[in-house]
Structure 1
Amino acid sequence: MGHIIFLASISTGIEPRSFKVAMKDEGWREAMHTEIQALEANETWNMVALPEGKQALGSRWIYKEEYNSDGSVEWLKARLVVFGNHQVGDIDYSETFASVAKMVTVRAFLAVAAVKNWEFIRWIKSLYGLKQAPRCWFSKLVSALKWYGFHQSYYDYSLFTLTNDAIQINVLIYVDDLIISGNDSAALVAFKHYLGTCFHMKNLGVLKYFLDIEVARSHKDIFLCQRKYALDIIFEGGLLGAKPASFPLEQNHHIAQSTSPFLVDVKRYRRLIRRLIYLSFTRPDLSFSVHIYLSLCIHLAKITGVSRSSPMRLHCDSQSALHLAHNPVFHERTKHIEVDCHFLRDALVDGTISMSHVSISDQLVDIFTKVLGKRQFEFLLSKLGISNLHAPT
């Protein structure tokens, strides 16, 4: 029940969007005071005269709530961020870079922790908006990690791994956020101490909220959910009072052509599209119709795994495609795919993959490409390992 209480609690949190609103709350005033003290302690700025003909960059406050595992607010985070978007390239800065982990790496990172029952924690380092700040931070962090013995992944440069006898520690970097996971508590404590001596960082404890993804862990499973993120999208669109649907789209429904004029300002539309696409991180079933909200989550179970001793199995609902894959003799009309078919044939012969027929009603990929009826949609949804934590038990 703990993870359900957590998800329900954070859905009620409202973060201020402006300095004026934040100043009305004593908690946010204290958070801003703490941030100013930290900036001064780290000698983040010096008071100097503005050069002639130059204009100072502005700044704004960003407010975020951090949560305990029971959903209560652990602390209020206020960050003063410089308007780096006002900097001029090749004048105010030259090279820029921000370490952004691939989302598939994030999911794999958490899946490994779930399968191996590793503990994981989150650390954060403040960045202040300048274009060159993330690049400088990442460069220093990489040097510190490599000195400690970590190796940088060639598949995702934001992933670092350390293996020392039976000890293994993984670190994933997303700009100024770090997720640390490992199989040895004492080794993790030592590594956290090392980071603390290298950088002014804050240990946020057990990972609960990361990149607008709620992470809830029971004694045997990990649940990833974006309920609060989805509610924010609906709130921003003014649709909190809308009636939810039990499945994305009605079959045979044809969207009418719009006769309204083009949008004058497309920024809000583009922001909505980006946010809906990101929602599919925990809701892959909504890839085909991401505009419908359902409060489900993706479930990472310990039993997740792939056997290296057996071939990868491909299921296909097309008998013709199966015959082509197994038959080295090609029809005249299939010459344009001959190279791909030879590649597939070789994989079949050496046992890398095996192919078998699957009924059209059991074809899982249809949930990503077609409008399905309620019964078929819910059946395939269960096959994806997606569950509704808020459904009555």
Structure 2
Amino acid sequence: MIRVKWVFKTKLNLDGSICKHKARLVVRGYAQQYGVDYQETFAPVARYDTIRLLFIYEEQLDGVVAPGKEDYVYLLRKTLYGLKQAPRAWYETMDKHLTKLGFVRSQSEATLYVKTDDVQLLIVSLYVDDMLVTGNQPGLIQSFKDEMNKVFETTDLGVMTYFLGMEVMQSCSRIFICQQKYAMDMLKKFKMEDCKPVSTPMITNEKLSKDDSFEKIDEGLYRSLIGSLLYLTTSRPDILFDVSVLSKYMHSPSEKHFSAAKRVLRYIKGTIALGVQFSKSAEGDLKLLGYSNSD
């Protein structure tokens, strides 16, 4: 028998205002035992295995106990949030359904599906229970949404403006992605919202090392900061090299390393609106460009 609980969450709009309040019933999956309650939990990246769903017993939740059946338990017939095998079961369900609709799964990215012919193109990308859809014909996209609504209860959020902490601005000729709100929240988290901006993320010719002569700092704090910076590199490739260097010292950070990391925050403060822009070429065709530099 596995206990359950309610998880309450407030979803915010891009401007920080309240979008809606959500209540979700979840299973306390940490109580599951491997080999007894579940077998496979792998969420796909490149390969797939067959999963067998187990029936899990859970106790009745406070407030929804059936009168006269207080000592009864529920038999869970499908996966619920919190089970270790839930992400895997959900992916398998989506994979089967998209395949049934005629999509072909990418061989290199297990969550990317493509449906195409000589004229039409439809691309679907999965991120757990979120889905990004794009295509070359609006009617084709709408038909896909209608097909999904026949099987799943979905919410259409329209043209993408915010996803996984990224702000997305679209026009006919470009797509601009930034993480301005995320960056501001990060500055507040590390009490750097009032810091003085700098023009470069690191000091020229500064050499970081594992020198033990500097005072050590809390590893948890340093790792949290570097982890936050790594997520920001999604739309800020200009700090990727610096954050990569700083990440080498997460096992034993010193005051010097922490000071260098805070300088990256000061750089972000002065360049908070920067991001990545994808522009349509004048020729109208798709060109893949790559840049490299000698070490």
Q: Using the TM superposition, give the Cα deviation of residue 234 of structure 1 relative to its aligned residue in structure 2, in angstroms.
A: 1.4
Partner of 2:154: 201
Is the aligned partner of 1:301 residue 2:267? Answer: no
Is the aligned partner of 1:365 residue 2:267? Answer: no
User: RMSD of the alignment, in Å?
Assistant: 2.9
User: Secondary structure at the residue paired with 2:230?
Assistant: helix
Question: Aligned residues: percent identity?
Answer: 33
Is the aligned partner of 1:89 residue 2:42? Answer: no
Q: Using the TM superposition, give the Cα deviation of residue 207 of structure 1 relative to its aligned residue in structure 2, in angstroms.
A: 0.7
Return the match for 1:234 from 187, 191, 200.
Answer: 187
User: 1:79–1:217: structure 2 CA closer, same or farther, 3 Å change rule?
Assistant: farther
Partner of 1:64: 11
Highest relative contact order (Cα 8 Å, sep 6+), 1 or 2? 1
Q: Distance in 2 between matches of 1:183 and 1:313?
A: 25
Q: Using the TM superposition, give the Cα deviation of residue 72 of structure 1 relative to its aligned residue in structure 2, in angstroms.
A: 8.0
Partner of 1:318: none
User: 1:74–1:193: structure 2 CA closer, same or farther, 3 Å change rule?
Assistant: farther
Q: Using the TM superposition, give the Cα deviation of residue 262 of structure 1 relative to its aligned residue in structure 2, in angstroms.
A: 5.5
**Higher mean displacement: 74-83 or 296-305:** 74-83
Q: Distance in 1 between matches of 2:202 and 2:122?
A: 44
Return the match for 1:80 from 24, 30, 52.
Answer: 24
Q: Distance in 1 between matches of 2:145 and 2:34?
A: 36
Return the match for 1:178 from 131, 141, 146.
Answer: 131
User: 1:251–1:313: structure 2 CA closer, same or farther, 3 Å change rule?
Assistant: closer
Partner of 1:192: 145
User: 1:224–1:305: structure 2 CA closer, same or farther, 3 Å change rule?
Assistant: same
TM-score, normalising length: structure 2: 0.69
What amino acid sits opposite 1:154 in the alignment? Q
Equivalent residues, number: 231
Instruction: In structure 2, list runs of 5 or more residues that go unmatched.
Output: 47-79, 244-260
Partner of 2:239: 286
Q: Using the TM superposition, give the Cα deviation of residue 85 of structure 1 relative to its aligned residue in structure 2, in angstroms.
A: 3.8
Q: Using the TM superposition, give the Cα deviation of residue 154 of structure 1 relative to its aligned residue in structure 2, in angstroms.
A: 0.1
Q: Distance in 1 between matches of 2:25 and 2:223?
A: 23
Q: Distance in 2 between matches of 1:73 and 1:193?
A: 30
Q: Distance in 1 between matches of 2:190 and 2:290?
A: 42
Q: Using the TM superposition, give the Cα deviation of residue 228 of structure 1 relative to its aligned residue in structure 2, in angstroms.
A: 1.2
User: Would you say the 8 A contact 2:11–2:21 is kept in 1?
Assistant: yes
Q: Distance in 1 between matches of 2:25 and 2:220?
A: 22
What amino acid sits opposite 1:158 in the alignment? T
Q: Distance in 1 between matches of 2:229 and 2:160?
A: 24
User: 1:287–1:132: structure 2 CA closer, same or farther, 3 Å change rule?
Assistant: same
Partner of 2:52: none
Q: Distance in 1 between matches of 2:32 and 2:221?
A: 24
The residue correspondences of 1:205-354 to structure 2 (distance < 5 A) are 205-255=158-208, 257=211, 259-261=214-216, 263=218, 266-290=219-243, 291=261, 292=264, 293=268, 294-295=271-272, 296-303=274-281, 305-306=286-287
User: Would you say the 8 A contact 1:65–1:76 is kept in 2?
Assistant: yes
What amino acid sits opposite 1:63 in the alignment? T
Q: Using the TM superposition, give the Cα deviation of residue 74 of structure 1 relative to its aligned residue in structure 2, in angstroms.
A: 8.0
User: Would you say the 8 A contact 2:10–2:18 is kept in 1?
Assistant: no
Q: Using the TM superposition, give the Cα deviation of residue 204 of structure 1 relative to its aligned residue in structure 2, in angstroms.
A: 1.1
Q: Distance in 1 between matches of 2:287 and 2:160?
A: 25
What amino acid sits opposite 2:93 in the alignment? K
The residue correspondences of 1:33-52 to structure 2 (distance < 5 A) are 51=1
User: 1:313–1:129: structure 2 CA closer, same or farther, 3 Å change rule?
Assistant: closer
Q: Using the TM superposition, give the Cα deviation of residue 99 of structure 1 relative to its aligned residue in structure 2, in angstroms.
A: 4.7
User: Would you say the 8 A contact 2:6–2:23 is kept in 1?
Assistant: no
Instruction: In structure 1, list runs of 5 or more residues that go unmatched.
Output: 1-50, 102-126, 315-363, 370-393
Q: Using the TM superposition, give the Cα deviation of residue 272 of structure 1 relative to its aligned residue in structure 2, in angstroms.
A: 2.5
Partner of 2:111: 158
